[in-house]
Amino acid sequence: MQTLRRTPLHERHAALGARLVPFAGWEMPVQYTSVRAEHRAVRESAGVFDVSHMGQLELADDGAHAYLQARLSNDLDRIGAGQAQYTLLTNERGGIVDDLISYRRGDDDYLLVVNASNVGADHRVLHETDDVSDRHALLAVQGPEALGRLEVDVARFTFREDDVLGVRCLVAGTGYTGERGCELGCAPDDAVRLWDAILERGIAPCGLAARDTLRLEACYPLHGNDITPDRTPIEAGLGWACALAKEFTGVDVLRGQKESGPAEKLVAFVMDDKGIPRSGMAVEGGGEVTSGSLSPMLDVGIGLAYVPADRAEPATELTIDLRGRPRKGHIVRKPIYKREEGERGG
């Protein structure tokens, strides 16, 4: 039996009564109170997630920029020191090995934050990097009131070293919820002190379940579900994160697919009939749901699915097999939920 790893905040989660579950080799809090309450806390005020399970790779050496530029899909020349970038690690078939954030600390100095389940796979491809995952704890504070309650000001996709609530942190304007906020990296020994200080500001502790429904409303893909080594960025609607004019692994395949068009595309949809879609459910006429849930903000079933490219336009009707029961839905523009408008995508 696999021994599950624990973050530095495990005892705090247990003390709060969190339901702890296995996730990517870790014992993680899936929820504290309810998914709906935690989800709405992030949409309406602020919530904090322990994401210390995320992997971290670094490369700080002469040639680091050129090395990563030749392997990651996005163009690192577009960012300077103190800036971050969403990017993809692709294989020779153009499939997505992982999606990650590159933090450029200097000309040849990078920190990569990668998915917990892909640390080993990423490190094997990016073998010149150092795995420094154990040197950091990571907290994500998200929501319209998050920065104000922390008394932090950080622009989107920028980062800096700073003191937050008395703890030295890497403060990054990134997150996975569709809300403003920040991610705070600190030494593992400081994690409990930082967590306690955040909760004292009235910020709600939130688990993995709410993180999943939040990212789904925002149409952020989940690796292993919506994006995999067998799916390309062109199919997944992530061509914007690929600088096809430069050379990187699999770029020739992606250029060809962009020119000819993919056979399937990843779309967002909302259910018209009652029912909650789930990963693996078939779409009538071809295709499959990759992520699905009940939207806590819209109170309807929502999801992401691959469908034939000629049936991928917004407003197209879908019929999904919900455990033997055909149920209707329709494709919407991403994101599914827009907080500014308080309604679903059109």
Half-sphere exposure of 14 (CA within 13 A, CB side): 7
Q: What are phi and psi of 112, to 5 degrees?
A: -115, 125
Which amino acid is present at 29? P
Superfamily of chain region 10-52+136-216: Probable tRNA modification gtpase trme; domain 1 (3.30.1360.120)
Eight-state DSSP code of residue 118 = G
How far is Cα 114 from Cα 130, in angstroms, rounded to an integer? 13
CATH topology classification for 263-346: Elongation Factor Tu (Ef-tu); domain 3 (2.40.30)
Q: What are phi and psi of 324, to 5 degrees?
A: 90, 0
How far is Cα 65 from Cα 74, in angstroms, rounded to an integer? 12
244, 255 contact by CB (below 8 A): yes
Lowest-confidence segment of 100-114, 128-142, 229-243, 326-340 by average pLDDT: 326-340
250, 95 contact by CB (below 8 A): yes
Residue 346 banded pLDDT, cuts 50, 70, 90: very low
pTM of the model: 0.96
pLDDT tens for each residue of 133-152? 999 999 999 999 999 999 99
Residues 304-328 have a mean pLDDT of 97
What pLDDT was estimated at residue 66? 98
Instruction: Give yes or no for residue 16 having a pLDDT over 50.
Output: yes
Residues 6 or more apart in contact with residue 289 via CB below 8 angstroms:
277, 278, 279, 280, 281, 282, 283, 303, 304, 305, 320
Q: Where are the domains of the chain?
A: 10-52+136-216, 53-131+232-261, 263-346
Instruction: Give yes or no for residue 157 having a pLDDT over 90.
Output: yes
CATH topology classification for 53-131+232-261: Alpha-Beta Plaits (3.30.70)
Average pLDDT, the chain: 97
Half-sphere exposure of 248 (CA within 13 A, CB side): 29
Q: Which has more confidence, 344 or 73?
A: 73
pLDDT tens for each residue of 169-223? 999 999 999 999 999 999 999 999 999 999 999 999 999 999 999 999 999 999 9
Residues 6 or more apart in contact with residue 88 via CB below 8 angstroms:
72, 73, 74, 96, 97, 98, 99, 100, 233, 238, 241, 242
